[in-house]
Amino acid sequence: MKIAVTSQNRKTVTEHAGRCRRFWIYETAGSEVKDRTLLELPVEQTLHEHSEGVPHPLDDVRVLVTAGMGPGLRERLQRRGILAVATTETDPDQAVAAWLWGTLPAAAPQEHARHHDHHPHHQS
C-alpha cells in the first residue's frame, strides 16, 4: 500500500494539502515501511488546481496524511479512492508508523475559507 504525506518543506507534515507540491510517498507492506521517495509536483498538478476525472500522480496512493485540509478536498480524494487523514503528528516517518499501528493522533476538522484574503479589513 502507498501512503502519501504532505511535506512542502521536506521535513515536517505540512498543512494546505490542496496547494502542497511535495509529498513523501511511502511504500508499505503490512506494518512495515519498505521505501520512501519524494514526489514533487508542478503547480498545475497540485490537488487544488488538478481537474477531477484526469489521472493524477497520487492516484495509486491509498492514504494521504496531512496537517490540514478542507472538507471539499477530503471529498474529492475520497472519490479517487484515497483516504485523507489530518493529524497533529509533525514527523512524516512517525506519522506513517502511527497510521500503520492505528495510533495516529487526529487533528481537529478544518473549515475551508471561501476566500483567500487573510487580512482583517478595518473601516473608519
- The Cα-based distances of 26 to 5, 86, 97, 121 in angstroms read 8, 17, 10, 43
Please indicate, yes or no, if residue 116 is contained in any of the structural domains.
no
Q: Is the pLDDT of residue 124 over 70?
A: no
pLDDT score of 53: 85
What's the pLDDT tens digit per position in 61-95?
999 999 999 999 999 999 999 999 999 999 999 99
Please indicate, yes or no, if residue 37 is contained in any of the structural domains.
yes
The whole model's pTM is what? Answer: 0.87
How many domains, in total, are found in the chain? 1
Q: Is the pLDDT of residue 121 over 80?
A: no
Confidence of residue 120 (pLDDT cuts 50, 70, 90): very low
Please indicate, yes or no, if residue 118 is contained in any of the structural domains.
no
Please indicate, yes or no, if residue 122 is contained in any of the structural domains.
no
The answer to whether 67 touches 49, Cβ cutoff 8 Å, is: no
Question: d(Cα 63, Cα 120) in Å, to the nearest integer?
Answer: 36
Q: List the single range of 71-75, 105-109, 112-116 with lowest mean pLDDT.
A: 112-116
**Which CATH number is 83's domain given?**
3.30.420.130
Residue of higher predicted confidence among 32 and 122: 32
- What is the residue range of 14's domain? 2-101
Question: d(Cα 122, Cα 124) in Å, to the nearest integer?
Answer: 7
What's the pLDDT tens digit per position in 11-70?
999 999 999 999 999 999 999 999 999 999 999 999 999 888 889 999 999 999 999 999
* Order of strands, sheet of 22-29, starting from the edge strand that comes earlier in the sequence: 32-40, 22-29, 2-6, 63-66, 83-86
pLDDT score of 51: 87
Please indicate, yes or no, if residue 82 is contained in any of the structural domains.
yes
pLDDT score of 112: 45
Question: d(Cα 84, Cα 81) in Å, to the nearest integer?
Answer: 10
Please indicate, yes or no, if residue 89 is contained in any of the structural domains.
yes
